[in-house]
Amino acid sequence: MSSKNPYKVGEKYFVRTVTYHYVGKLAQITDTELVLDQASWVADSGRWANALKTGVLSEVEPYLGRVILSRAAIVDASVWNHDLPKEQK
Answer CATH for 12-79 from 2.30.30.100, 3.40.50.300, 3.90.110.10, 1.10.3720.10: 2.30.30.100
Tell me the whole-structure pTM to 2 decimals. 0.92
Distance from C-alpha of 20 to C-alpha of 59, rounded to nearest angstrom: 12
Q: Please, which residues bridge with residue 41 across strands?
A: 22, 61
**pLDDT values of the chain reduced to their tens digit, one per residue, 89 residues:** 456 789 999 999 999 999 999 999 999 999 999 999 999 999 999 999 999 999 999 999 999 989 999 999 999 999 999 999 999 99
Q: What is the SS3 assignment for 54?
A: helix
Instruction: Report CA 73 to chain centroid distance, whole Å.
Output: 13
